Chains A and B, each alone.
Chain A
Amino acid sequence: MKTTLTPTAVMIFKTNIETEQDLNKIARILKSERNILRWNVDREDIDRVLRIESENMNRTEIQQKVEHAGFICEELAD
């Protein structure tokens, strides 16, 4: 039997968050989001992967926020 607690969802996106400035911009948005438990951008990777751990936000909500800030944000499929 698996745990009945809400499992944390890990969402992975391809972005164009490249510079320190970009990172600061996205940080301001994501930090204010209470439903995001953890996040990071791997700027070393070619896909500038944005990784988000959240309990109750969905993919579309996040995508909209990131895109609204002026970045590309596409879901990376499994």
Chain B
Amino acid sequence: MRTRDENKELAIRQKAMEMIVKVGFDGLSMQKLAKAADVSPATIYIYFKDRDDLIVQLWKSEMEKMAKASLEGFDPEMSFEEGLRLQWMNRARFCMENQQSTYFMEQVRHSPYDILCQKKMDKSFLQAMESFVHNAIKRKELMPLPLEVYWSVAYSPLYQLVRMHMLGKGMMGGAEKFVLNEKIMNQTLQLVVKALKP
């Protein structure tokens, strides 16, 4: 009788993410992963059906961690500026403290796995974000916009700054180190809030 061993499962997940970030999806095989995580291939198959299942499950658990971090202290009734600031802070902190996870999620985003993964998106997270936006529109703090436009203005600047922070270099050919601090984040946030006001 095989039983689940949480420590083993955790080790497998950790190693798989490391391998994907280092060598990409094609570099990951169950055999190589077994060697790296110091378990037998059979052990991996107890937890995961195949490589695709492993990748999707891995994404799901990382996404849940991200969603949890982003909702910390958050209330969809918050004013738009206050709520968006908290989202920026929470998300930036999560990305910086979990760089491996951030790189992994980014890789999924640009891969065929994205379609499979998006179906498993945390519903409560989506609901919170949706009602936050609707409340802000009702209070006339936010312009009604197509979702893609809203997201691109509201969050893309943050993720771009986080990316540059993680790379450790800015736009000057990488000559000067770029650090995303609270001052820069607030400065950018002010512009975003201004742009989204009706």
Q: Which residues of A contact B (CB under 8 A)?
A: 7, 9-12, 40, 42, 44-47, 49, 51, 76-78
Q: Is the CB of A40 within 8 A of B49?
A: yes
Q: How far is the CB of B2 from chain A (nearest CB, A)?
A: 6
Quick check: B41 and A40 within 8 Å, CB to CB? Answer: no
Ordered by A's residue number, 11 sampled pairs between the chains whose C-beta atoms are within 8 Å are A10-B2, A10-B46, A42-B50, A44-B51, A45-B30, A45-B51, A46-B29, A47-B31, A76-B42, A76-B45, A78-B43
Whether A42 contacts B49 by the Cβ 8 Å rule is: yes
Check if B2 sits within 8 Å of A42, measured CB to CB: no
Per-residue interface assignment for chain B, residues 1 to 13, with 1 indicating a CB less than 8 Å from any chain A CB and 0 otherwise: 1110000000000
CB within 8 Å for A49 and B45 given contacts A42-B50, A42-B51, A44-B51? yes
Q: Does B40 contact A (CB under 8 A)?
A: yes
Task: Verify B1–A40 contact, CB threshold 8 A.
Answer: no
Report B-chain residues with C-beta under 8 Å of the C-beta of A76.
Answer: 40-42, 45
